[in-house]
Chain A
Amino acid sequence: MTHQPSNLISRRQWLSYVGAASGTIAITSLFPNATQAETLATPYATLPALPYAYDALAPFIDEKTMKIHHDLHHGAYVKNLNAALDKFPKYKEKPIEDLFPILNKIPEEIRRTVRNNGGGHYNHTLFWESMGPKAGGEPVGELATAIVKDFGSIDDFKKQFVEAGMQRFGSGWVWLAITRKGNLAISSTPNQDNPLMASDIPILGNDLWEHAYYLTYQNRRAEYLAQWWNVVNWNAVNDRYKKAIA
């Protein structure tokens, strides 16, 4: 059994977990399959298959970018994460989401590696699942309603999301996340950090590392951010939102 990031975490479970991390509430298992005893020989994480063909997002994200990004960048995060946790196998019993809030308890020898590569594994998994062929358009369902409530309109949300993406200097991510108060908020994190490290639940994230867009857009991050809406799978994002608030 290996640990795939589950994006099906609910807010209620998450809050109970965060409470548990600070010792106030008993830990409930979010991932029954993932908490079974592991053998040392089992890799902690595996690279999930891309849920569509490498060329499925073209012309907005080109095939070569997808191949390098998924196989090599994401693949390296998985490999580095596994190597780190092999040194301290007791952490292999926890799913990756449970490691982010307790990074400061993880041995210093592997803490940065787990943060960077565990973040890289989780973030990219969520990223692939948030896109798809014949996607784009506008947010749907409960998520659309919540976006309008919290940002005024879909257009205002998109504008703020793009602005946050432009303001991130260097490598990082821009997010739509559910905060602890239960509302939606846009945020940005450096490198492979993510909202779970601040106890928010990410619903949608766009990769702002240059590797995500350089082959097609080079220095033109603004153009990448504008075109990226064409590949967002709003049904999948809405499903994630509904499960998180359930």
Chain B
Amino acid sequence: MAFEQSPLPFAPDALESAGMKAETFEYHYGKHHKAYVDNLNKLVEGKAEFEGKSLEDVIVMTAGNADQTGIFNNAAQVWNHSFFWNSLKAGGGGVPTGDLLQKIETAFGSYDAFKTEFAAAAATQFGSGWAWLVEDAGTLKITKTANADNPLTKGQKPLLTLDVWEHAYYIDFRNARPGYIANYLDKLVNWDFVAANLAA
């Protein structure tokens, strides 16, 4: 059974008023994400050890294995991008509410402190990678990973992510990664998705 590309949970032009053009999603979802899915299916085809495995299984099975870097990179990028689409929402961003806000204040001191720390992680991931909000042993943490790497390989529960590969922001923001990060935090973060991940 081939792995399938999860649907984009919004129309490609749904985030235009929030700084991300339909063109970005035409490439990012339509080309980059799709290529990871196609490559993964080619790489696992006919390999019995991946038969019937979930995407998460494949990621954990191949992480850190030098012989299976190609499978890991593509599997993790398939997963990361699906998770990223769900981390975005028109009319999102800003300060969360209720229990989630309380958890963030407990972990980081304040929402502003969270925002500063998340922005710093995303800005300082040199080269390609991802910034994350995760739950690690019951505590909320901010992390960053290089290239395809993700929190699943570290036993952490991912709650929210931001793609900081240049392809994620070059059409809308060119080289200005900090502007892309601020736009995401202020206008796009899907806090409902974070709350659902925390509750799961």
Contact yes or no, A214 B175, CB < 8 A: no
The complex places the Cα of A73 from the Cα of B175 at a distance, in Å, of 7
In the assembled complex, A36 has its CB within 8 A of some CB on chain B: no
Which single residue of chain B is at the shortest CB-CB distance from A220? B31
B53 CB–A CB distance under 8 Å: no
Task: Select the residue from A76, A215, A219 with max chain B CB neighbours within 10 A.
Answer: A219
A210 to B126 Cα, complex, angstroms: 13
Q: Please, how many angstroms separate the alpha-carbon atoms of A31 and B129 in the complex?
A: 37
B166 & A116 in contact (Cβ 8 Å cutoff): no
B3 on the A face (CB < 8 A): no
A4 to B128, CA, bound (A): 27
User: Which of chain B's residues has its CB closest to A169's CB?
Assistant: B73
Q: Tell whether A214 pairs with B170 under 8 Å between CB atoms, given A170-B165, A171-B128, A219-B32.
A: yes
> A219 near B35 (CB under 8 angstroms)?
yes
Partner of B31, one of A169, A211, A218: A218
Contacts of B41 in A (CB 8 A): none
Q: Once the chains are docked, how many angstroms separate the CA of A187 from the CA of B121?
A: 30
| Chain B proximity mask over A157-172: 1 for CB below 8 Å, otherwise 0 | 0000000000001111
Are the C-beta atoms of B170 and A210 separated by less than 8 Å?
yes
Which residues does chain A contribute within 8 Å of B133, judged by CB atoms?
A: none
What are the residues of chain B within 8 A of A112 when measuring CB–CB?
126
Interface size on B, residues (CB 8 A): 20
- Is A53 interfacial (CB 8 A cutoff)? no
Cβ–Cβ contact A169 & B167, under 8 A: no
A199 at the interface (CB under 8 A from B): no
At the interface, yes or no: A20 with Cβ under 8 Å from chain B?
no
With a cutoff of 8 Å between Cβ atoms, the chain A residues found around residue B166 in the complex are 171, 209-211, 214
A211 touches B170 (CB 8 A): yes
Whether the Cβ atoms of B27 and A191 lie closer than 8 Å is no
Closest B-chain residue to A219, C-beta based?
Answer: B31
Point out the residues of chain B lying under 8 angstroms from A211, CB to CB: 166, 170, 175
Q: Which of B25-59 contact A (CB under 8 A)?
A: 27, 31-32, 35
- With both chains docked as a complex, state the minimum distance between the C-beta of B184 and any C-beta of chain A, in angstroms: 18
- B residues with a Cβ closer than 8 A to A are 27, 31-32, 35, 69, 73, 126-129, 146-148, 165-167, 170-171, 174-175
Q: A72-B175, A214-B166 are in contact. List 14 more A-B contacts (CB 8 A).
A: A73-B175, A169-B73, A170-B146, A171-B127, A171-B166, A172-B127, A191-B127, A192-B126, A209-B166, A210-B165, A210-B166, A211-B170, A214-B167, A219-B32
Residue numbers of A with Cβ under 8 A of B are 68, 72-73, 76, 112, 116, 169-172, 190-192, 209-211, 214-215, 218-219
8 closest cross-chain pairs (CB), A and B: A171-B127, A210-B166, A170-B128, A170-B147, A191-B127, A219-B31, A214-B170, A72-B175
Q: List 8 A-B contacts (CB under 8 A).
A: A76-B175, A169-B148, A170-B129, A171-B166, A192-B126, A209-B166, A214-B170, A218-B167
